[in-house]
Amino acid sequence: MKKVAKYDKKRIAELIDGTLEFYQLKDMMSSHKDPERFEIYREVLQDRVSWDDPILLPYGLHLYIVQKANGDRIVKCDCGHEFCDYKENWKLHARIFVRDTEEKMNEIYPKLMSPDPEWQVIREYYCPGCATQLEVEAVPPWYPIILDFEPDIDTFYNEWIKKPLPTVK
Amino acid sequence: MAKTLTGVQKKKRGIGWDGKTLKEMRKEITEISKETGHYAGLKTLPFKESDPIRFEKIYSKLRGGVVHARETAKKVAASPIVEQEGELCFSLYTPEADSIVTSTGIIIHVGTMGAAIKFMIENDYEDNPGIADKDIFCNNDNHVGNVHTCDVHTLVPIFWEGEVVGWAGGVTHVIDTGASAPGSMPMGPVQRYDDGYQVTCRKIGQNDVLSKDWLLESTRSVRAVKYWTLDEKTRIAGCHMIRDLVLDVIKEEGVDAYKQFMREIIEDGRRGFVNQVKTMLIPGKYRQASFVDVPFKDLDLPSFAKLNTIIHTPSEITVHKDAQFEIDFEGANRWGWHPFNATPVSITSGIWVMLSQTLVPNDRINDGAYYASKFGIPYGSWFNPDDIRSAHSNTWHALVAAWSPLWRGLSRSYYGRGYLEEVNAGNAHTSNWLMGGGYDQYGQLSAMNSFETSSCGVGASAVQDGISHSAALWNPEGDMGDMEIWEILEPLIFLGRQILPGSGGAGKYRGGNGWQSLRLGWGAEEWTMFVAGAGVMATDCGLMGGYPASAGYRFQANKTNIKERIEKGLPIPLGGDVDPDHPTYEENMDAEVVYRDRQAVSTQEQFGDYDVIMNYLRGGPGFGDPLERNPKQVEEDLNEKYILLRYAEQVYGCVFTEKNGVYTVDLQATEQKRKQIRKERLDRSQPTKEWMKGERKQILNENAAIQVKHMYAQSFALSEKFTNEFKSFWNIPEEWMIYEDDLGVPTLGSRINRFKQKKKQ
């Protein structure tokens, strides 16, 4: 029977960087999850960003929900760009590029392999600060912009992992 | 007072425990589980806690035995779908039809076979036709809760000293069930009555012997009789192995221990699921949506089915504070006259297939997880039709699209908690399904459904690429099968199998690539063929900056001159259609009819010797911004033909030098090019809120294609919540609305309509 795994910061950093060998990933997938993963992961990510706002939750690749000194919780890119309150949809505060013609689709997909823009468009959301493509939606025209994730941060910290929320030093 | 017949029947001793009927037992278990929040009201697990080794020993015996039954019984089958691809599954149930333990394979049927047994219980089968030791029942009725007609169930009650102690169930995916078109998932059916031979929980055998009338009727109702017959023997063999196994366990452990065990193992499964939710997820809400095209306007179908529309499946996962897991599909649109409808049981059961590969990756797949979850499935939607006429033969078309975004939703949790190894950007739309039938190369009436689609591309993870040409989300064990085996079984010769560049979604980690087979007609008589895949739409988004996998298309050519070209030694079409912007198939043959278009679902057309048809198996979505992909990996992809040069340059921003057909990435130039692309992104994009103003005008002017408006009109008609959220998001005036009746398309069967109901009031 597999034991509950335990990994150090170096291993989690390698996981984040995508440099682990497959047998190592397979071992992580097959083992019982390490309960302390979240804290180590959060620390590794915090060490990597250039700003000091404590990360409450990694929210997506490059995106974090961070704690501000005034008590606000906001969505922030690792480049430093601050989007909005974490209850809002950050995409509404991003820059958008919509592929709604065959020509624009053909920049990404060969002929016949893209969505037909009459049926479906591709919306690309970029960070206004670093121009990273943070999310892509493939939806029919008119579709409301999707608010992907509304985490219950307080329940997560207080009742699930039973750890204090990171605070501004 | 004289005894009435009803009075006598009431006093008849039930076949359940302690003289109860199965119906009474079902009612009791449902009520107590609901009241207490624990399966069977078990707040503690006395057996497991007092004697854990014995408890686990029984579990291991049953689990091992059920898997063994599957592995052994499948050798009875001749069907490549069952024998090669493993499209079968066995499960053991309580007397009330709750699943205790399940084999490997297509475990979606944990729920569907349970639904069939529940149907028999609900309809008093105990009285008529009677449920006795050594009876055999069969079901494949879609509206009882099956996935689609080709999934045929064999159900065998297990008795101990006159009492039902459980049920064994086995299912195989049968190659043909006599639908209006050949193959297991045919295109053509638009009503239940086109879907093929449907057997509604029928008693087909007694004393372990199949009835003659059943054997005659069933084998006269389907094509490909040998596969049907051997599949049935497979299912019966497996069920009888499980029955023997249970009786052996009872002999060894005692019936009371077995009864206590079956209750506790399900409650244990429920607790295990709750524990996994708390271990791996983050409480909150997760939203996503999927879309699949239904391009039926120009197909050869009844007039009421001839329209283009989109199947819309929004989903909201709520992970509650107490770790209850809920999925609400409010906003999904209406069922339709197409074979892509589904039942609530099939969509929820399929979710367990998915969860067992991510959230609960263990062997305790039973109904415990079901009792820990809640689903909102709108009545009248495509996966809960309000009309028994709905067709379901190709239900996977919509189901796989509806499930894939759920992986993305859960992946946001895995990502947040740092379990990056579990992140999955979604899954391929597991198609094309290449189907056909007629008199095969052996002169036998036959049918085919190529299960090469068991090997599509997997979505990317947060730490590595999705696996290419390898898997399908509905059967964790599937593979593409050997070409030599398919050629023995199907009248189609392979002209190649090849990776399709760019079919996996681009990303920091790209989606697993799909691939293509090219098949040449050979040796059949009066054979027809058709394709069934997603066409003009990507059925899922990418994740966190990755692109969706590519959409589908079809290629087919009839009445070609390939025979003459072979005789003259001239080139013929071979391999995949690797760059559809610069196609080569047509350069290497002449044909009277060529289909190279987005019509990726078609109906039967005659298919002769030297006709060719492409089978395109789709890729998976990507993860992360493609500009962050390691340039060396892009170089590798290019040299191994997973992407085309121009996309390596413009999507991944890489610059290459080429020598003797081998590309080498220029890292410095790539860095510059990527900086330039980022700059271009900012130049060509606009603030989202600015863009929304323009899109809002498009909505107010009702400027969209008819199929898009039809999709919204259906969701509006079924869901007030979706309508309100839509209008609120776009700040649309109260009076604005799109109605199905105003679109000039057929509306037959559109009965549930909150607008019409309001008018009546």
Residue B650's pLDDT is what? 97
Is there a contact between A140 and B310 if contact means CB atoms under 8 Å apart?
yes
pLDDT band of residue B260 (cuts 50, 70, 90) is: very high
Residue B758, pLDDT score: 61
Instruction: Select the residue from B363, B463, B684 to test the A interface by mutation, using most A Cβ atoms within 10 A.
Output: B463
pLDDT value, residue B87: 87
Task: Determine the average pLDDT of the residues in B443-471.
Answer: 94
Q: Over chain B, what is the mean pLDDT?
A: 95
* Contacting residues of B for A134, CB less than 8 Å apart: 544-545, 625
A134 touches chain B (CB under 8 A): yes
Q: What's the complex ipTM?
A: 0.98
At residue B761, the pLDDT reads 47
Task: Identify whether B8 is part of a domain.
Answer: no
Q: State how far residue A169 is from chain B, nearest Cα, in angstroms.
A: 23
- Going from N- to C-terminal start, the domains of chain A cover 4-90, 93-139
pLDDT over threshold 60, residue B423 = yes
Residue recorded with tokens 């506790």:
B264
The pLDDT value given to residue B79: 87
Pairing, β B325-328 against β B373-376:
parallel
Of A42, A93, A112, the CB nearest to B688: A93
| A99 lies within 8 A of chain B by CB | no
Does residue B613 share a domain with residue B639?
no
> Which stretch of DSSP H or E encloses residue B615?
strand B612-617
| % of chain B beyond a pLDDT of 70 | 98
A124 bridge partner residues: A97, A136
* Interval B675-683 mean pLDDT: 98
Contact A116 B536 (CB under 8 A): yes
- pLDDT of the residue at B358: 81
Say yes or no: B467 and B484 in one domain.
Answer: yes
CA B165/CA B246 separation, integer angstroms: 9
Q: Residue A58: its chain B contacts at CB < 8 A?
A: 415-416, 418
Domain match, B94 and B62 both: yes
Residue B350 — pLDDT band, cuts 50, 70, 90? Answer: confident
| Per-residue model confidence (pLDDT) at position B542 | 97
Of the three residues B617, B642, B671, the one that is the final residue of a domain is: B617
Rounded to an integer, the average pLDDT of B712-735 is: 97
Q: What is the count of structural domains for chain B?
A: 4
Q: Identify whether residues B661 and B740 lie together within a single domain.
A: no
- Average confidence (pLDDT) over B300-305: 97
On whether both B349 and B491 belong to a single domain, the answer is yes
Q: Model pTM? A: 0.96
Q: Which residues span the domain enclosing B452?
A: 282-617
Within a domain: residue B48? Answer: yes
In the block, residue with structure tokens 């398919």: B486
Q: What is the pLDDT of residue B759?
A: 53
Residues of chain A contacting B421 with CB distance shorter than 8 Å: 15, 25, 28-29
Contact A116 B598 (CB under 8 A): yes
Strand partners, B289: B314
Burial zone of B210 (CB within 10 Å; 0-12 exposed, 13-18 middle, 19+ buried): middle
Percent of chain B scored above 90 by pLDDT? 89
Please give the average per-residue pLDDT across B656-660, as a whole number. Answer: 98
Let me know whether B349 and B385 are in one domain. Answer: yes
Domain termination residue (choose one: B684, B719, B734) = B684
Residue B336's pLDDT is what? 98
Q: Per the domain annotation, does B755 fall within a domain?
A: yes
Best A23, A87, A113, A127 member to test B by mutation, with max B CBs in 10 Å, is: A113
Q: Are B135 and B205 in contact (CB under 8 A)?
A: yes
Q: Quick check: A12 and B695 CB within 8 A?
A: no
The answer to whether A98 contacts chain B (CB < 8 Å) is yes
The Cα–Cα gap between B93 and A78 comes to 51
**pLDDT per residue over B692-702, tens digit each?**
999 999 999 99
Q: Tell which B residues from 365 to 394 touch A, by Cβ distance under 8 Å.
A: none
Q: Residues for chain B: how many in total? A: 761
- Residue B420 dihedral angles phi and psi, to the nearest 5°: -65, -25
What's the mean pLDDT in B93-108?
A: 92
Q: What is the pLDDT of residue A1?
A: 47
Quote the CA–CA distance of A44 and A37 in Å, as a whole number: 11
Judge: B580–A107 Cβ closer than 8 Å, yes or no.
no
Q: Which amino acid is residue A111, in one-letter code? A: K
Residue-wise pLDDT for B371-398, tens only, equals 889 999 999 999 999 999 999 999 999 9
| Cβ-defined contact of A149 to B650 (cutoff 8 Å) | no
pLDDT value for B78: 86
Pick from B248, B270, B292: which residue ends a domain? B270
Query: Do residues B39 and B31 make contact, with C-beta atoms less than 8 angstroms apart?
Result: no
Q: How far is A72 from chain B (nearest CA, A)?
A: 19
Span of A28-32, A164-168, B219-223 with lowest mean pLDDT: A28-32
Confidence of residue B104 (pLDDT cuts 50, 70, 90): confident
pLDDT given for residue B1 in this prediction = 44
Angle (CA) A73 A74 A75, round 5°: 140
Taking only residues 143 to 162 of chain B, the set having a beta carbon closer than 8 angstroms to any beta carbon of chain A reads none
| Residues B666 and B743 reside in one and the same domain | no
Smallest Cβ–Cβ distance between B420 and the set A15, A122, A139 belongs to A15
Strand-by-strand arrangement of the A149-151 sheet: A149-151, B284-295, B308-319, B325-328, B373-376
Contact (CB<8Å) A91/B626: no
Q: According to the model, what pLDDT value does residue B686 have?
A: 98
- Can you list the positions of beta strands (E) in B402-511? 433-439, 445-450, 492-499
**Is residue B232 domain-shared with residue B308, that is, in the same domain?**
no
Whether residues B442 and B511 fall in one domain: yes
pLDDT of residue B360: 85
Task: Tell me, yes or no, whether B335 lies in a domain.
Answer: yes
Under the banding of pLDDT at 50, 70 and 90, the label for residue B240 is very high
Q: How many other CB atoms are there within 10 angstroms of residue B276's CB atom?
A: 21
Q: How far is A71 from chain B (nearest CA, A)?
A: 20
Check CB contact under 8 Å for A138 and B541. Answer: yes
> 343-362 in B: which are within 8 Å (CB) of A?
361
Q: Is any Cβ of chain A less than 8 angstroms from the Cβ of B551?
A: yes
Is the same domain home to B584 and B543? yes
Question: What are B157-186's pLDDT values in tens digits?
Answer: 999 999 999 999 999 999 999 999 999 999
Mean pLDDT of A105-123: 98
In the structure, what pLDDT confidence band is assigned to residue B11 with cuts at 50, 70 and 90?
A: low
B449 and B558 in a common domain? yes
Q: Are B108 and B352 in contact (CB under 8 A)?
A: yes
Residues of A in contact with B729 (CB under 8 A): 144-145
Give CA–CA dist B167/B242, Å, rounded. Answer: 9
Task: Kindly state whether residues B217 and B341 are assigned to the same domain.
Answer: no
Mean pLDDT of chain A: 96
Region B245-250: mean pLDDT is: 98
